Structure 1
Amino acid sequence: MGSAVRAAVGRLPAAPGVYRFRDARGRALYIGRATALRHRVGSYWADLGDRRHLERMVPQIVRVEALVCDSVHEAAWLERNLLERSRPRWNRVAGGAEEAMCIRLEHRSGVPRLVTVHWPVTETAGTFGPYLGGNRTRLAVSALDRVLPLWATDDRLAGSARDLARVRGVAVADRERFLATVTAVLCRRPDAVLTVRDLLVRQRDRAATNLAFEHAARIQAELEAVDWIVAEQKVTHLTARPDAEAYGWHDGLLVGFRFHAGRLCDWTQRVCGPRAARPYLDRTPPALAEFARRNADLGRTLAGG
């Protein structure tokens, strides 16, 4: 590892994000995502494990670039978007393999129910997402059905379904409360998310106390799935939005992002003076200003600034 690359790896944060390797000619070699950037990027100069096909790439790396994301989920979406737009030589596939899903609130005969649908969608009313990972999305729906069983508020239940609703203490009168909480969770409201997490934790711990370890493990998986879908994610939107650009600047480095069809699909970095940078910064949407500024700071740090 060259001294410049070693220094850049040491400056990376232990945070989720996306990284990009470049060669001496400035060409992108590889784009990847990380749960912890410093550990993941540093691992390329250790045992590559199941990534041995990259052994010939590593000596060509002369520059490390990275973006910090607000969640692992956001990093997963960003990697997918960038690779679908432009795939560097050493990336095997154009984007991740996870299913892109949404959660929809459907009203059947007046009773709301949660269903999973593939993204992109044509019907956006009552639809939330998108999320990466079909299994995670289905587990999150299972978690919400477990603690906020909308199906059990149907006044036409019969037989075992009616008995189960009665045992769980659920009645038609609970419908609006359940629906409000479910909607708030899918809108990522912290108070509602905390309520659902607490209910799941209690059920998991009760199952473990009763030695029902498989059941406890299932609830734990659902809990992690809820955390996944409520994590902040602003690089892919449910519906296509007008194309936009966002820029951050720090000490001579301008970092730019381009959004197309609601997805962050392009990431650039270049040397730029403060006067030349000002028009770019002025047209950056306020909602993206902090993301862009933070990553301009990181870009300058990795470049040795």
Structure 2
Amino acid sequence: MLALSGLPQAPGVYRFRDAGGRVLYVGRATQLRSRVRSYWGDLHGRRHLRRMVPQIARVEAVECDSVHEAAWLERNLLQRTKPRWNRIRGGLEVPVGIRVTPDGLKVVHLHSPSDADFGPYLGGAQARLAVSGLERVFPLRYTAERLDGGLRDLARMRGVSVVDRPAFHTAITAVLSRDQEHSLSVREQLALLRDRAAANLAFELAGRIQQELEAVDWIVAEQKMTRLAAAEPDHDVYGWADGLLVRFRVRNGRVDGWEQRAATQATARARVDLTPPEWAAFAARTAELARRLAPEAL
């Protein structure tokens, strides 16, 4: 019996292998345990996978720090290689960035790291909703020195002027930099606006603001699987637990490889020591999960 009870109820990426060790499928989950167990239940819209399930001999998984991080890891792995039972290479979401301009925020498609100030984010729709939410709280576009009549009237209605511009810019930059205090403040203000709209029976507006709130959560969530520019040279990340060594390949700021194999502590030590400190906790956690899921003999 597969050790599915060892899976956490946390976001992550999972991988199925057959008895010969071949990768059958790579997927992502909001809750790993529930998602993986669902393959042995009613597959609903995933009927094409029914023939795959009897072939599954082993489950491997990576616990991520957010659903957004899991989405990036899945995308990177599938861009490098597509297992037989995955239908597409990569993912459906479009990588985008957010640029802070004098006239407000702009969602941009990524062709190079210089295209955006912040990101990358998966999903243009989510990024645009997040921008809408940020501009609802910090209406930067209405703080320009010269506004035409319509914008000037809207600025007056919102009670903002050019003197608010530096504070809005600082706050937006802090949120996009994932500052927890500023991010929490934006969430609270959006929740207040949502509840006020619902109390006034403006349910469509309340629903829109709720979408914006969720999108802000998406873009400020921890995400280290892909970066706008490589912050450090190409390297590998290693974690070891009770005879099992896990390796992640990091190239050009992207985690695009994931392997695990049996290894003694002496063999693993030199590799684990090369892991950058900021990756150490993630690598150790992944190795411990791999050990819980691994059969007695690898």
Whether TM-score is above 0.5 comes out as yes
1:120: how far off?
A: 3.5
* Alignment-mate amino acid for residue 238 of structure 2: Y
Aligned to 2:81, which of 80, 83, 86?
Answer: 86
* Distance across 1 between alignment mates of 2:249 and 2:150: 54
1:1-305 equivalences under 5 Å are: 3=1, 5=2, 8-106=3-101, 111-123=102-114, 127-240=117-230, 241-303=232-294
Where in structure 1 do 4 or more consecutive aligned residues deviate above 6 Å? none
* Alignment-mate amino acid for residue 142 of structure 1: S
* Distance across 2 between alignment mates of 1:199 and 1:148: 10
SS in structure 2 opposite 1:123?
helix
1:158: how far off?
A: 2.4
The total of aligned residue pairs comes to 295
Conserved 8 A contact 2:138-2:168: yes
1:121: how far off?
A: 2.6
* Alignment-mate amino acid for residue 41 of structure 1: V
* Distance across 1 between alignment mates of 2:90 and 2:43: 21
CA RMSD of aligned residues (A): 1.1
Structure 2 unaligned blocks of 5 or more:
none
Conserved 8 A contact 2:119-2:227: yes
Q: Deviations 1:176-202 (Å, cap 9, x if unpaired)?
A: 110000000000001100111111111
1:122: how far off?
A: 4.6
SS in structure 2 opposite 1:268?
strand
* Distance across 1 between alignment mates of 2:224 and 2:270: 23
Identity %: 60
1:234: how far off?
A: 0.3
* Distance across 1 between alignment mates of 2:202 and 2:274: 56
TM-score under structure 1 length normalisation:
0.94
* Distance across 1 between alignment mates of 2:124 and 2:189: 23
SS in structure 1 opposite 2:54?
helix
Q: Deviations 1:100-153 (Å, cap 9, x if unpaired)?
A: 1100012xxxx35210101233526x6100000110000001111111011111
SS in structure 1 opposite 2:114?
coil
TM-score under structure 2 length normalisation:
0.97
* Distance across 2 between alignment mates of 1:194 and 1:281: 35
Conserved 8 A contact 1:130-1:238: yes
Structure 1 unaligned blocks of 5 or more:
none
Conserved 8 A contact 2:113-2:228: no
* Alignment-mate amino acid for residue 63 of structure 2: V
* Distance across 1 between alignment mates of 2:222 and 2:185: 18
Conserved 8 A contact 1:186-1:230: yes
